[in-house]
Amino acid sequence: MPSLKNYSETNTAWWEQIGLRQSVVLPPSRHEVLVQKAIADVLQTHSPIAFLAPDGITKLTVKQLAELIDRVAKHAEVEAQSEYERAELERRDFGWKMIEEASTLSDANQIIETGRWVAFTRGEAIAWCWNLFQYEPQGFVHPGSEVRHRAIQELQSGGIPEVFGYPERARALADQGLTPKQYREHKEALGERTFTPLDVKHSR
């Protein structure tokens, strides 16, 4: 729905009252400016009399529709935050579960003899992987996102991925005297959240 506040002769155009905007690449070309102004002029001179509700009978003014949208948006925001918090608890509990399971594997105490995880036990390396994937995420966009996806699949299948500098990061943390459990407890004490792709913001 096109709408440009710059072309409105009033403080708030009717379409802006219900939150409609047009996404444009800035700065717009002269062609885009002229087209947008023409559209805005049409909208400005053709205000809707009413909006028909789903019941097919009730009619809402622009102001009433704007108020309805505001109420719905606020409710959706509360619901979304509640879902976000629930998902965070699930990810955190899952991470703890994976760390606990790593220490009970039949080969948990087996020393890794080759590769970037050398000198770690398998249980330690797996636990560090889950910690770092959850608290120090990398691989937000392609091709990193594909690397991350494949690495997590490998981890879930019992492998120990060597990606994103995680073996070196785990070694540095271990050299500081931290165990995987202590690392996670420290992160939780600081109130840090586990990673979710929903937190990733992409610039345009």
Packing angle between helix 62-102 and helix 180-189, nearest 10 degrees?
A: 150
Residue 36: CA count within 13 A, CB half-sphere = 21
Which candidate, 132, 173, 172, 136, places its Cα nearest to that of 155?
132
Confidence of residue 20 (pLDDT cuts 50, 70, 90): confident
Cβ atoms of 31 and 82 closer than 8 Å: no
In terms of Cα–Cα distance, which of 22, 21, 23, 19 is closest to 68? 19
pLDDT (tens digit per residue) in 136-190: 988 777 788 889 999 999 999 999 999 999 999 999 999 999 999 999 999 999 9
64-78 pLDDT, tens digit per residue, is 999 999 999 999 999
Task: Answer positive or negative: Cα dihedral of 100, 102, 107, 111.
Answer: negative
In b/e form, how buried is each residue of 44-54, taking b as 16+ CB within 10 angstroms? beeeeeeeeee
Instruction: Tell me the pTM.
Output: 0.72
